[in-house]
Structure 1
Amino acid sequence: MAARSTLQRRGDWAEQRALRLLGSRGWTLHSRQWRCRWGELDLVLSKPQRLLLVEVKARSRCGPDGWGQASLGPRKRLRLQRAWSCWLEAHPAWADCPVELVYALVALPPSRRAVRWIHVSF
């Protein structure tokens, strides 16, 4: 297996931070970095009768894209919807469960900013 790039390790760190926070709120992890032909789902978690799809964006500073918020446009949402359809095909037991899409904007160290959660209709 190839070594992970610095960018990938930063993304892993940001996903782990989001996962720890959600785990402390009672969410259970089902999939992490799940891939299909349409892209990747960063985190898929559940609580009883609820699913949470989390797209994590990690930034070392607030640039022109506002900690990654600008990268979450219509094209990205369409890719997530298509990947989500593939995930549901692979996990049919969850097909009737309501799902919520959340963007987690995570500031990388040395920043101590809180994770910013953006809830999106899906």
Structure 2
Amino acid sequence: MDGGHATGRRGERAAERFLRRRGWTVLARRWRAAGGEIDLVVARGGALVLCEVKTRSDAAALDEPLTAAQRARMRRAARAWLALHPPPDGAEVRMDLITVRPGRLRARVRHLPGAAAPP
């Protein structure tokens, strides 16, 4: 595994720990569908959230918004997930961005709800 993939996996694990500590239940990790991937699918209360995790060592790079192509891939994958796993009526469905900056002792995790338009 190259350094970029290893860094990305560590970031996804940090994001998962962050969300679990806040009461979210992880339904899926690195879920793939034709045309896209969802890094994390989580639920809490009446919310179902499909997450993109960005891990960067450069703090400035974390401020880069999701590109139109990234948002389109997320929406395609989200629609595929929802077709296979329909949420309950009235559930809030959204797509969030989680940014992770690895640190020597602890990763810095930031959760940005609704960073991409819902599927």
When normalised by structure 2's length, the TM-score is 0.84
2:13 is aligned to: 16
> Following TM superposition, by how much is the alpha carbon of 1:70 offset from its aligned partner in structure 2, in angstroms?
2.4
Q: 1:113 to 1:45 in 2, by over 3 A?
A: closer
Unaligned runs of 5+ in 2: none
> Following TM superposition, by how much is the alpha carbon of 1:95 offset from its aligned partner in structure 2, in angstroms?
6.0
> Following TM superposition, by how much is the alpha carbon of 1:54 offset from its aligned partner in structure 2, in angstroms?
1.3
Partner amino acid, structure 1, of 2:48: L
Whether 2:21 is the aligned partner of 1:27: answer: no
The structure carrying a bigger strand percent of its residues is 2
> Following TM superposition, by how much is the alpha carbon of 1:81 offset from its aligned partner in structure 2, in angstroms?
0.7
Query: Pick from 54, 74, 83: which aligns with 1:57?
Result: 54
Measure the CA separation in 1 of the matches of 2:30 and 2:106. 25
Percent of aligned pairs with the same amino acid: 34
**How many residues are aligned here?**
115
| 3-state DSSP of counterpart to 1:110 | coil
Measure the CA separation in 2 of the matches of 1:14 and 1:99. 23
1:79 is aligned to: 73
Measure the CA separation in 1 of the matches of 2:47 and 2:39. 17
Partner amino acid, structure 1, of 2:18: L
Residue deviations 1:52-107, cap 9 Å, x none?
Answer: 11111011123xxx334425122211111111000111213x26422122111111
Determine if contact 1:67/1:105 at 8 Å carries over to the other structure.
no
Partner amino acid, structure 2, of 1:104: I
Measure the CA separation in 2 of the matches of 1:7 and 1:58. 9
Partner amino acid, structure 1, of 2:26: L
Partner amino acid, structure 2, of 1:83: A
| 3-state DSSP of counterpart to 1:115 | strand
Q: CA RMSD in A?
A: 2.0
Unaligned runs of 5+ in 1: none
